[in-house]
Structure 1
């Protein structure tokens, strides 16, 4: 496992992290095995969110970390807040960056994690009704109380980062964004500059270049999904050319297609971190192996084109 700094935080985190969204469906013993598999593979970073299963994912993660007996000081735990789900329907009804909501949500996450602090907390999705002064008060309270050490955002574009950062004393160190061979929009637009075709449309405000300039780490979520939870592309008959190329590159490096899909993301010089959400230990081990594979630039481009992208 390789490690790199998240933003400018000084935190040396594993290039792959365990995302705990789906752990809520696992038994206590299964969750322990998943966390142990991640730790054995060199993962030292764990991600969850208060809205995952109404907190159940966080509870399972916290219990599993306790059950394996890991030293809290040897790992990093991250959560996300700011999404409000209706308790009755579990539907998302709003985003909420009010101080009261954020502080209460963080306290609930700490209880569920069985810890007194998190290393990172991220604003989960943009709240257009955010009151910047109130948000700043919330972050200051969370930091001075020792409950949060570092801050970031998720699914936020560059101008939104600039707006939030203008009011905050804390540097926003990471931005969690969907990225992978099935969701390449952030790089596709970079190739279609000064063109008027569909791929030239900038949906993201130059997120990759902006993140590199600001030294913000992109955490890639759903790295194996195509579209917005449209399914996985590995061994999917809809993606024959991509799977053929993945297999060719995997054979050349002596690893699995899962590992190469991770290595493709990590090959980018933006030094991203990949969130792995698999709850199958054998598959998780295959994915983690991607952190130790260095594909060539040509292999990177071959996979990009095989995924259905063009080079103008």
Structure 2
């Protein structure tokens, strides 16, 4: 399944799948990075490249910055990799500094500029291919965002810009102040997280009142060539080997169906789960979150899987636990 994706239209030769790097760095703690952490990162990168994945997704907060730090060690030891890969990172979340405090969001110009400097320093590179704003900031000023993006572009620190977890309306608001298009929007989409599909089939129905996915977001991205990226596309492994103890009947039924289709098609369960997203005409780019080499390789098989319309709908209706309206 080699369908072109929207990033290609913006000069970014990214793979159909991306590797999310949140699992690198030794966990969400303040422990120093170890040689074992760096070795794990090397193995994840090698598995991704073997699977045909050349895009790596980071965020400044992942494992308190250690995810980018260990990836930077990989690039330091193997500088030739930089020309072979696409680097994406995110900023805008400010983690709580003390127990009892809450995370907050910050899209101010100074925060964006300082965050990118930190990202580049940890990765040990001079430029990001893509920078995403991580979550919507209610206090965001589009003109201030545009000023920050302009400075980063002019300084050669970032090639392209996008967002994460945003609605079509929020993207339009930001886009109105920008001189160039937003190129990506990263959203939670999976065979488990189905609001993005239910919002389509429940138009003009009472069931639509329970859908949280912002109406028109997928359509806006398709019309404006914004790459839809899916975070948590493997649904934490629920359909590909994770424990199903206490899971709802529709989840168990879906896991059984995924296993059946994988056996019939001679592929991995991860490939079936991801092929469900790849089959959608929006050209979704799954960002897989595992750093285990065997699961990365298994996920890479998704691009060779073709799901029929009947198989796709069977997966959808089984997971949603009810028939089409």
Do they superpose with TM above 0.5?
Answer: yes
Shift of 1:305: 1.1
Structure 1 residue aligned with 2:229: 219
Tell me if structure 2 keeps the 8 A contact 1:153–1:172.
yes
Deviations 1:263-290 (A, max 9, x none): 1110101001010111211111101111
Deviations 1:187-208 (A, max 9, x none): 1121111111256645312222
Shift of 1:167: 0.8
Structure 2 residue aligned with 1:185: 195
Tell me if structure 2 keeps the 8 A contact 1:194–1:200.
no
Mind listing any 5+ residue stretches in structure 1 that lack a counterpart? none
Deviations 1:151-203 (A, max 9, x none): 00000001000000011112101000000101010111211111112566453
Q: By percentage of residues, which structure has more strand?
A: 1
Q: Secondary structure at the match of 2:24?
A: helix
Residues 159-238 of structure 1: pairs in structure 2 closer than 5 A: 159-198=169-208, 201=211, 203-225=213-235, 232-235=238-241, 236-237=243-244, 238=247
Structure 1 residue aligned with 2:32: none
Shift of 1:86: 3.1
Question: Aligned partners of 1:36 and 1:95: how far apart in 2?
Answer: 34
1:100 aligns with 2:110: yes
Structure 2 residue aligned with 1:253: 265
RMSD: 2.0
Question: Aligned partners of 1:117 and 1:311: how far apart in 2?
Answer: 46
Question: Aligned partners of 1:162 and 1:120: how far apart in 2?
Answer: 19
Structure 1 residue aligned with 2:20: 19
Q: Secondary structure at the match of 1:119?
A: strand
Q: Secondary structure at the match of 1:218?
A: strand
Tell me if structure 2 keeps the 8 A contact 1:175–1:217.
yes
TM-score, reference length from structure 2: 0.89
1:4 aligns with 2:16: no
Structure 1 residue aligned with 2:294: 282
Mind listing any 5+ residue stretches in structure 2 that lack a counterpart? 27-35
**Structure 1 stretch displaced more, 252-261 or 148-157:** 252-261
Q: Secondary structure at the match of 1:13?
A: coil
Question: Aligned partners of 1:200 and 1:21: how far apart in 2?
Answer: 30
Residues 262-281 of structure 1: pairs in structure 2 closer than 5 A: 262-281=274-293
1:111 aligns with 2:121: yes
TM-score, reference length from structure 1: 0.93
